[in-house]
Amino acid sequence: MKIVVCIKQVPDTKGGVKFNPDGTLDRAAMMTIMNPDDKAGLEAALRLKDQYGAEVTVITMGLPKAEDVLREAMAMGADKAILVTDRVLGGADTWATSQTLAGAIRNLEYDLIITGRQAIDGDTAQVGPQISEHLNIPVISYAQDIKVDGNSVIVERQYDDRYHVVKAQMPCLITALGELNVPRYMTPGGIFDACEAEITVWGRADLVDVEDSNLGLKGSPTQIAKASDKVRKGAGEVVNLDPTEAVDYIVGKLKDKHII
């Protein structure tokens, strides 16, 4: 089985968020981590590899420094890594990103593509399903459990209060929830190997069946007007009342603010 896992290097919010003067994220200046949902997707792929045997390829689109997240994935157990980087791909929204990744994945053989549900820097949850559309394969989103059954996958698709069990024939794409699993640690030996390993670097010229008009900032229908850090909330108010009084107190407050 061949599995492709799409991962993204995202800002580590613990290290503080920095912006460019034009309001976009200054990714080069921020501490970074592997997007948590993507890491869960990678762990799911590695578990399938442990269980059934598989070749796991990780792919990311980003700045050259996104190589770090690929090496981390290899230190966890991924077999191959591909970095898609090119100045013309910069400023991509979800549409241009999914076009780029689909264009890169067309070079690869795969049975399964796994992406995280969404990235913590954009929270759109669009890239995974869009890739499946471009590649014309089924998508199962919000996976909380993945099993392989012959040429099919059986996935528990999470809803708030229930889950659906969905079966799809491979090749298909699955988007993984962070809650899917607890990702393994890298191993020291894995780190040493990953730092020696070759990473395939692709640019615009390597993308298959993608129009220039669908790439980078120019190919992005979404234009970011302004981005900002989380607004700090006030300290709030703590009151100690019995439940009946507490309900009256809260309702009173909501009425004061004309919320109800």
Partner 1 sequence: MDFTLSKKHEMARALFREFAEKEVKPLAQEVDETEVFPRETVEKMAKAGFMGIPIPKEYGGQGCDILTYAMCVEELSKVCGTTGVIVSAHTSLCCDPILTYGTEEQKQKYLPDLAAGKKIGAFGLTEPGAGTDAQGQQTKAVLDGDEWVLNGSKIFITNGKEADVYVIFAVTGIVEKRGRKVKEISAFIVEKGTPGFDFGTKEKKMGIRGSSTYELIFTDCRIPKENLLGALGKGFAIAMHTLDGGRIGIAAQALGLGEGALERTIEYTKERKQFGKAIAGFQNTQFQLADMATKAQAAQLLVYKAACKKDQYQKDHKTAYGVEAAMAKLYASEMAMEVTTKAVQLHGGYGYTREYDVERMMRDAKITEIYEGTSEVQRMVISADLLK
Residues forming the site for partner 1 (CB under 8 A): 71-72, 75, 184-192, 194-195
Three-class SS string for the chain?
CEEEEECCEEECHHHCCCECCCCCECHHHCCEEECHHHHHHHHHHHHHHHHHCCEEEEEEECCHHHHHHHHHHHHHCCCEEEEECCHHHCCCCHHHHHHHHHHHHCCCCCCEEEEECCCCCCCCCCHHHHHHHHHCCCEEEEEEEEEEECCEEEEEEECCCCEEEEEEECCEEEEECHHHCCCCCCCHHHHHHHHHCCCEEECHHHCCCCCHHHCCCCCCCCCCCCCCCCCCCCCCCCCCCCHHHHHHHHHHHHHHCCCC
Least distance from C-beta 75 to partner 1, angstroms? 7
Least distance from C-beta 205 to partner 1, angstroms? 28
Residue number, 180 or 194, with CB nearest to partner 1: 194
Least distance from C-beta 72 to partner 1, angstroms? 7
Residue number, 75 or 92, with CB nearest to partner 1: 75
Residue number, 83 or 92, with CB nearest to partner 1: 83
Least distance from C-beta 74 to partner 1, angstroms? 11
Residue number, 50 or 109, with CB nearest to partner 1: 50
Least distance from C-beta 21 to partner 1, angstroms? 31
Residue number, 50 or 133, with CB nearest to partner 1: 50
